[in-house]
């Protein structure tokens, strides 16, 4: 495979990943979309045996077996779910 082709393929994947990330990023102007994103994250956590609760201060609390972890925002929740191997 030619180096130029590899670059273009990686660039296209990067652009696609950015487009997906922007599409699912919760927006303050669309509360229904934000609720759906949070519900999806909660479902992913539940499948892996974790409970995910949105807190009033905008953080999230992930808990399992009397252990808990505070996550600062949606990006931290996504990173945590990847870390624990939650399905996407």
List CB contacts of 3: < 8 A, sequence separation 6 or more.
none
pLDDT band at 77 (very low <50, low <70, confident <90, very high): very high
- The domain of 65 spans 3-84
The whole-number pLDDT of residue 69 equals 92
pTM for the predicted model, two decimal places:
0.62
User: For residues 71 and 60, what is the distance between their CA atoms, to the nearest angstrom?
Assistant: 5
How many domains would you assign to the chain? 1
User: For residues 36 and 8, what is the distance between their CA atoms, to the nearest angstrom?
Assistant: 33
The whole-number pLDDT of residue 33 equals 87
Q: What is the pLDDT of residues 10-32, one digit of tens each?
A: 555 555 555 566 666 655 567 78
């Amino acid at each position: 495979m030619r180096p130029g082709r590899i670059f273009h393929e990686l660039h296209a994947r990067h652009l696609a990943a950015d487009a997906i990330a922007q599409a699912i990023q919760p927006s303050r102007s669309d509360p229904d979309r934000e609720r759906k994103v949070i519900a999806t994250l909660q479902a992913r956590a539940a499948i892996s045996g974790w409970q995910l609760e949105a807190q009033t201060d905008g953080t999230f609390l992930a808990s399992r077996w009397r252990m808990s972890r505070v996550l600062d925002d949606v990006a931290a929740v996504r990173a945590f779910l990847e870390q624990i191997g939650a399905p996407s």
